[in-house]
Amino acid sequence: MSLNEYIFKSLDSNIPKHVALIMDGNGRWATLRGLDRSKGHQEGVKRISDVVRTADKIGVKAITIFAFSTENWSRPQKEIDEIFALVRKYLKEERFNEDNVKITFMGDHSILDEDTRKTIQEVREKTSGNTGTILNIALNYGSKEETLNAIKTISKDYKNGKIDIEELDYNRVENHLMSKGLPDIDLMVRTGGEKRLSNFLLWQLAYSELHFTPVYWPDYNELEFINSIKEYQKRERRFGGLKL
């Protein structure tokens, strides 16, 4: 059976609209092979397009990937520089338009270097008209920072008489989050074996299905992604209600 046949035969029609991924385990993948951690990041970045293409094939509308957290600044400068160099290379070289992929971002980019900020701006503009899968990249993203900024903006609006406390609802809060406009996250996958959220999308993951896999991110290929979707299809979502 070809990979395509396998993919389509093994899934039912319940495809998640939005999948979020914590791409973890690059360092351990490399260390296990006696390689430098940077080799793990190099190999890991290649998996992103595999996942995005598979997502497109099966009808996933949006993928959010955790590329760099607000806490990752505590790593050695050399590793940080290597990660950002890889991010820039990926954004500059990947042919998103050929796959009709639209790139969006989350995170505070104001403290990033000029080249990275320019690269982000260019890829955003270049792909803004694409209508295929959305690849949303969380770069210098932290959910607590995002929440804090939302609280600050809402407080200012209140102070300036723009909103009443009584008017504040979930929708208004969500309008101040960086995920604004994206579908709800149906499935969150974390590779690398850790079972934690690490400050990723704390509001947005309410009622998402969570899949934790021991596979290190550089080994997370098309079939692993399909396996995560299959795992999702086994779940029964109740949203606080009763079994349908």
Q: Which of Mg ion, ligand IPE, none interacts with 115 (beta carbon under 5 to 8 A by kind)? A: none
Q: What's the count of helices (H) and strands (E) in the chain, helices before strands?
A: 8, 6
From the list 72, 130, 221, 227, the catalytic residue is 72
Asked if 26 interacts with ligand IPE (CB under 6 A), we say yes
Which of 194, 202, 235, 238 contacts ligand IPE by CB under 6 A? Answer: 194
Which of 49, 130, 198, 221 contacts ligand IPE by CB under 6 A? Answer: 198
**Interface pattern 24-53 for Mg ion (x via CB under 5 A):** x-----------------------------
Q: How many other CB atoms sit within 10 Å of the CB of residue 97?
A: 13
| Residue 97 annotated to the active site | no
Closest by Cα among 24, 160, 138, 125 to 87: 138
Amino acid at 78: K
| Residue 24 annotated to the active site | yes
Q: Which of ligand IPE, Mg ion, none interacts with 198 (beta carbon under 5 to 8 A by kind)? A: ligand IPE
Total binding residues toward Mg ion, as defined by CB under 5 A: 1
Tokens of 143: 């959910």
CB-based contacts of 105, cutoff 8 Å, min separation 6: 120, 124, 136, 137, 138, 139
Q: Which of ligand IPE, Mg ion, none interacts with 152 (beta carbon under 5 to 8 A by kind)? A: none
Q: How far, in Å, are 58, 64, 91, 218, 234 from residue 120 at the CA level?
A: 27, 16, 7, 23, 37
Which residues are known catalytic residues?
Answer: 24, 72
Residues that bind ligand IPE (CB under 6 A): 22-28, 66-69, 72, 83, 192, 194, 196, 198
